[in-house]
Structures are given as C-alpha cells and as structure tokens.
Structure 1
C-alpha cells in the first residue's frame, strides 16, 4: 500500500514537473498588427508587433534587422529584459524602453510564472525587411 502511494506521488510529481517545464518553456506569440510605409522617409516603414507571453514564457536571445529602431511598451503584466550588456530590468505595464540598430536582446521573458504578459513593439525599419526577430549567433 505504501509503495503504491509513493509510486502514485512520484508519477504525479513527474507529470506536474513535466507540464510546468513545458508551460514555462513556451515561446512568445508574435503578431504583426500594423504595417505602413513612411511617406516622408523613402525606404522606411513602421511595423508594429504584439508580443504575448504566457506564464513563464520567453523569447530566445535575439537581434533585429540592422536598420531597426524599436520602441517597446508593456501593455499587461511585467517583462524581464536585457539589452546588450545592460542590467536585467523588469518593466511593468505602462513602462517602456527602446533599442537602436545593432542592439542584442539577450533576455526577454515574462516576469511571472502565473500571469500572462504582453508588449507592443514599434519598429522603424527598412521597408524590405520581413524578418523582424533574428536568432542571436
């Protein structure tokens, strides 16, 4: 009887741990919500991206196109972020930061393991750019 209770507990703990690990490792959902060529800046466009993190969600370390200037604003929850070798910073809903061409984004993740987080990123980028997030090499 004791062995079966211990075995049941072990299986439950393993399943719970696996589910939590899968949930925590989920990638951010990235959706382009607006795109428009800038009429007064030939060759440049504004592209706006909604980034949604589930609880414990994250993005891999990445960069952006060499032409990209980015303004990011947290809409919901809190985002842990690190740009270049700067400090890891937690931005809460209503707070923002910017990234300039060539910046490396080594940390980008939901600060919570229980609540979702969302941010809006506004890119000013060369019109021909189609890939806005590039894995860091």
Structure 2
C-alpha cells in the first residue's frame, strides 16, 4: 500500500491539473481510487468522478491504448459520442463502456440548469500516468 500512495498522489495531481485546465468548460475530474490488480500483473484499477456544472463539457479526448473503461451516470444526464457512433444521452443509473483506442468526441452535461456526475472505472496499465489526452475533432 505504501508504494501505491506516491503513485496515487502523482495521479491525483495530474488529474487535478487536467481538471483545472478544463474548468472553464465546466467539468471537474477527481481520482477516488487507485489499486494494482493483484491477479493481473501490470494492470491497475483507477476510478474517477467527473462532475459537470450545468451546461459543462469535456474536451474531445482519447484514453490510453491499454484502457478499458466502464462509466455510469450517478446524477443528471450525460451526452456522449464515442468514435463515429451517435450522440447518446445516458441518464442516472445508465452505463456505457469504452474500449482501448476509442475516441470520445462528445462528453457533456445534457442539462443547462442541473449538474451531472458520472463515475468512470479504468482498467489500465499500471505504469500509465495520463488517463486522458485531448484531440481536435
């Protein structure tokens, strides 16, 4: 556990820095869990909360090529577009997945008056330090 604490602190700092860069867009990302998977060498589970202000968005982004992601909307509604798929609205209690190499072109609060929140569970290479990389759509 002592070895994972410095990594968790470093990842939290990276995510907070990224969240501050996104702040004008109206999203905030918080690392809430980081654990090596004892039965899958080289892989970790990282969990982030993404809070969207009313009308808030995230920049178009990708995740590491090693990442499988399960996302569940906890509050409000989130509009999402992955790769060339349709823009889909997910409401509280609904979930979706993202596969390694997917491009997340739209991720935003579907409401301009109410906040929204989702939790994202990443299974990712343990040595991965960046969970999102912006791209121009």
Do Structure 1 and Structure 2 share a fold, with TM-score over 0.5?
yes
Q: Structure 1: 5+ residue runs without aligned partners?
A: 1-24
Counterpart check, 1:55 vs 2:65: no
Counterpart check, 1:45 vs 2:21: no
Tell me how large the CA RMSD over aligned residues is.
0.9
Deviations 1:58-85 (A, max 9, x none): 0000000110000000000000000000
Q: CA deviation at 1:57?
A: 0.2
The answer to whether the Cα contact below 8 Å between 2:26 and 2:55 also exists between their aligned partners in 1 is: no
Q: CA deviation at 1:136?
A: 1.6
Deviations 1:25-73 (A, max 9, x none): 5331000000100000000000000000000000000000110000000
Compare CA radii of gyration and give the structure with the larger one.
1
Q: Give me the TM-score of the superposition, normalised by structure 2.
A: 0.81
Indicate the residue corresponding to 1:125 in structure 2: 124
Q: CA deviation at 1:132?
A: 0.4
How many residues are treated as equivalent by the alignment?
113
Query: Aligned partners of 2:131, 2:82: CA distance in 1, in Å?
Result: 16
Q: Give me the TM-score of the superposition, normalised by structure 1.
A: 0.81
Deviations 1:73-114 (A, max 9, x none): 000000000000001000000000000001000000000000
Q: How does 1:86-97 map to 2 (within 5 A)?
A: 86-97=85-96
